[in-house]
Structure 1
Amino acid sequence: MKIEHVAIWVKDIDKICEFYRKYFGGVVHPIYHNPAKQFTSRFITFDDGARLEIMHKPEMFHVEQSEHLGYAHLSFSVGSKEEVDRLTQKMSEDGIQVVGQPRTTGDGYYESVVLDPEGNRVEITV
């Protein structure tokens, strides 16, 4: 068994898709729009077959929320400590907010934590 995909609600599909394409090599697929439901989404596929669905529905954003139940973070394995360090530094230079510098966590992960353009937490790990 495998997880088929993970989905996140966003305000700006294009901005979020570009983030995951640029920094994690995702392939962004064509947009899907259902006018009857005012629903729009795009899938992003990664080298190992993992998929992320980026979804938007205008009614989801009438009230600003900083915390919510459900999705906590995504984690991307980049293969080495050196790549964690390099990618974190590159993102920082590009103005991406780094909220956790590279470190070894208590449970043994070497990781950093950044925020995507809409504040979703993304772990970068070995």
Structure 2
Amino acid sequence: MNIEHVAIWVDDLEGMKVFYETYFKCKSGSKYHNREKKFESYFLTFESGARLEIMCKEGVGQRNRVEQTGWAHIAISLGSRDHVDQMTARLERDGYPVIGGPRVTGDGYYESLIEDPEGNLIELTE
């Protein structure tokens, strides 16, 4: 078994698509649009084959951004500490919040934590 994809609700479907294509080299499939349900989505495929579905639908609102039960972050492996450092610096220069790192964690990971344009947490790892 393996995880086929993960999905997140977004407010700005096109903006989030561009973000993941620009910074993480995702390839986008065709937009799916269900007019009756007022639902739109894209599947974004990473070079490794992992997929992220970004979805928007009329009436889906923001949740409380404080720590809570549920998904905490998505981790994206960049292949090396240098790539983590470079991507963290690039995202910070481009105005995305860096929440922590780069650093070595207590369990031995080298990582930084950033927010995407809608505040979803992304852990950048080596």
Please report the TM-score for the alignment, with normalisation by the length of structure 1: 0.93
- Show the 5 A alignment for 1:1-126: 1-61=1-61, 65-67=64-66, 69-126=69-126
| TM-score normalized with structure 2 length | 0.93
The residue type equivalent to 1:93 in the other structure is R
Residues 61-92 of structure 1: CA deviation (Å, up to 9, x unaligned): 2x653245422111000000011001100111
Query: Alpha-carbon deviations, 1:72-124, whole Å to 9, x = none?
Result: 11100000001100110011111111111200011111000000000000000
Q: Report the CA distance between 1:21 and its aligned residue.
A: 0.8
SS in 1 for 2:59: helix
Q: Could you list the runs of 4 or more consecutive aligned residues of structure 1 that deviate by over 6 angstroms after TM superposition?
A: none
In structure 1, C-alpha distance between the alignment counterparts of 2:9 and 2:69, rounded to whole Å: 13
SS of the aligned residue for 2:85 comes to helix
Aligned-CA RMSD value: 1.3
Query: How many residues are treated as equivalent by the alignment?
Result: 125
Instruction: Letter of the 1:95 partner, please give it.
Output: G
What is the identity, as a one-letter code, of the residue corresponding to 1:66? R
TM-aligned CA deviation for residue 18 of structure 1: 1.1
- 5+ residue gaps, structure 2: none
- Per-residue deviation, 1:11: 0.4
Helix, strand or coil at the partner of 2:103? strand
1:100 and 1:29 map into 2 onto residues whose CA distance is 32
Q: Which amino acid counterpart does residue 111 of structure 2 have in structure 1? A: E
SS at match of 1:60: coil
Unaligned regions of 5+ residues in structure 1, if any?
none
